[in-house]
Structure 1
Amino acid sequence: MIPGVIQHTLGLSETQLVAVTQYHSGGKLGFPVAVGRMAVSGETLQAADERDVKGKAVYVLHTWKDALWDMGASRAESVPEPRDPRSDAEDAQDANGDGTSVSPSDAQNGAQSQSAGDATVSAQETQKNTAAALTPEDTSQHLRTALLQALSTTLRSSPPSTFPMPASTFWSAYVLPARPIEAAGADVKQSTFKSVKVFLKAAAKEGLIKLKDTKGGDVVVTGVFPQHPAVEEHRPVRTVQDVDAKAQKAEARERREREEEERRRGELHITELWKPIGSTLGWFASTGKDTSNLYTIADLKAAFDAYVAEKNLVNAQERQFVNVGEDAALAHAVARKNEEVEFMRREEVLARLREHMQSWYEIQVEGKDAVRKKGQLKPIQVAVKIRQGRKACTLVTGFEAYFLGAEDLADELRKLCASATSVSSVPGKPNEAEVMVQGKQIKAVADLLVAKGVPKKWIESADMTEKKK
């Protein structure tokens, strides 16, 4: 939960893969005990330092000693003792070989699928080759460019409460992600500075940042100067962070597409159909269509448009009107009892045709045979009414045609709404069931129905308890 977050890496984004560690007094950093994805952005966590913000901080995917842990060879091992991350910035460099400590981007790379893993290895090899090709002077210049990039972008908008900041955090969270993409593998050890501490002291001497020495020989960053002339003259470059952000967006887009595809697979595909009967049989025979077939709205419109064009029935003055009276078969198909029709709008003619035809519908779920039934499919009714005195309750009816069972629906609503439910027959319709759930639960019921594949178009809701204004 957000109130339990003591420290966090800056620049976190929603859905980013992160590691969760236990907080220890004295500034020591514990080893990861859980892995998950961010439920909120880093800005939300920063806002929680200034005001009361509640809710989930991380959606946990895997924890120490869970079922997945028990499948591993090291399941009997305990969590190592916490370490002190402030001992030296060089210690952080040795951990990953490029000057970084544990960072979200490292966790992100570690969680890629096997197909993406080859690309990650290839990218790492490219970074190593790039670093090897750079001279110490080139590497130093690229790292300075990274600092200027960070000062002109992410650090420019950082609040004063961001500082003081450990040198290792400043380096891994701001400088390294801002490296130019052509120098993605630039390592401070291969520069003329040789260490993060020396680099930062040079930057402080230039007036770009402000440092303070701490006990133990380390330094902390106490301030930055985004208005420095060198920062103002800096031209933006494409950075490692830009590439990572693009990759994360692509991953998020693919995840959404997969989720949408899964949702579509479970969705009911409902098609309204009509069959010629009675007064419409003559017109269908005139069009050359089979009167025993079932037709969709698109089929009817195509047949009607072709017929009007062939018979030249378009009104000369108002082309959106059709001269129905000029064609006996069409007039007989759309006219009501004792009605004489001269002309009519196209939309109304199609509506009249459907009105005089026999209604059918087809429901299909992926992987199953389509089910066709005669009659007009009615939407599921979700209504809030007053029952048992003054208590509001939500009633759900008309769900049987959508392959939903009353008892199963009531059981799921009981758990979802944490309210009592019951099943009874609809008054006057013994073959239809009514599910009742206590309270005003329209949204919860509608969300459950959609999750079960019922399109929103086929859900009608109404609150009968609202007073008319």
Structure 2
Amino acid sequence: MFPGIHIPEEGLAPFSDGEPWAVVVPGNPAPIAVGTTMMSSTEALKAGLRGKALRISHYYRDTLWESSENCYVPNAGFFEDVVVADPALLSSLQTSDSREDDSSVGQGNVENENMTDVNDFDEISPVLESDLTKDSVVATEASEQITTAMTDLQMEKDSGLESNVDSQPLLSVEEVDSLMDKCLLQSLHGTVKDKDLPIPGSTLWSGYVLPCRPSGVTLDIKKSSYKKLSKWLQSKSTTGLISVKEDKHKKEVMLVSINRNHLDYTSFKPEKKKVEKNDQSTKSVTSEVQLHKLLEVAELYKPSVHVNPIFSAVGADTGKLYSAPEASQIVFAYVENGKLVKEVDKSKVILDSTLCDALFKGAIKKGLMYPTEIHKKDLGQTFINRMQAHYRVTRGTDSVVRKGSLKPIQIMTERRQGNKKVTKLSGLESYLLDPEALASELQKKFACSTTVAELPGKKGLEVLVQGGVIDDLARHLVDQYGISKRYIEILDKTKK
């Protein structure tokens, strides 16, 4: 957010929308996050330097970072839960600061200023460094106005930040359990609304429970008696305080409902003070929601018995999946190794016995002659058609690979008794969409009744939406879940 950006005295150079920037902790030059600007400097000035400055793409210790086998830590200032000033840089600064007493007023406590939880961006003012424009000269009137305005908006607390990480008390297992329960009840009373349900367990923890913890206290579920978030939520479900279920696609426990008549809920007195919200947690929740809406569909191919000899001849693995360009490269590599390109016509490929069997064995009717050559433009597609089709669907951090071709989502409207219309959705599971969660969402969006039923004679579920909302449903799937129109089949049986 623009109000949380620390601006150096020389100001920031002009920038445009979509530029890559880095976020660093003061006193430590290594980035803790990277992202892209969400507006240009001109637009930022018109908006009064309010609103979102960066769209965070990757941050220290996120899922992408932890998925690496050998995670690289930039310097000694990066800890598991805290990023502080680089000790090597800090020592050099302290040496120079001892020579200039007047300039040490705002720098003498650099370590305390920067010893801040990586996930608590409300308590720090990050410094942004542009890889593209940090060496450019601020020479325009617009850049001078931006510098002046952003400096005026710089929060006064930048110069007085204090971290209490060193003074944080060590909590016992029982105290961690008690604090987790207290934060859960505080969030259920304050920020968790029934209209937001169902909520994934990870979102509940990062976006609602953690912001309710006392200031300066790190809450780590691994230090509790439960060790895992799912076990903790299931234990709360056993007591009747909440109701949870496991998402069969994401393999994650989700909060489904809250028993607000439960004794633990009614007897708890929530704190009236304003709960400090965690900017980074909010960003994480937003990023997770946006990430969950991103859909990627990849068509893949597995070598079959027909083409296995070609893969073996070039030393390629016959057990893995290949994209269409990768499969084409395999067969063209075989052609190149065997020097099968026709000399008199470079656009033709001579078929030796192995390549001919791979492309046409079993596909040519008996009595017909096998071809002796093939055009280059037809070679790749013919080769791919002889492989086993697969597809991979990725939504956020979830990914699944299935055999066969991807069938589209079918949206069908038909009439029921009394000339009433009903719209049916089927095939959602192939796109990693939960029919029950989507039904609840559509009920609120279109203000109509929805039900989930098993597909007659087929495996899977279908969502029934009251009314003829076929176009609105298709638009919702495209806009909110990134499903391409090519994967949506519309059938309106109400039209004559």
Shared fold per TM-score greater than 0.5: no
TM-score range, shorter chain: 0.3 to 0.5
Return the structure number with greater helix share: 1
* Rg larger for: 1
Q: Tell me the TM-score normalised to structure 2 length.
A: 0.39
Q: Tell me the TM-score normalised to structure 1 length.
A: 0.41
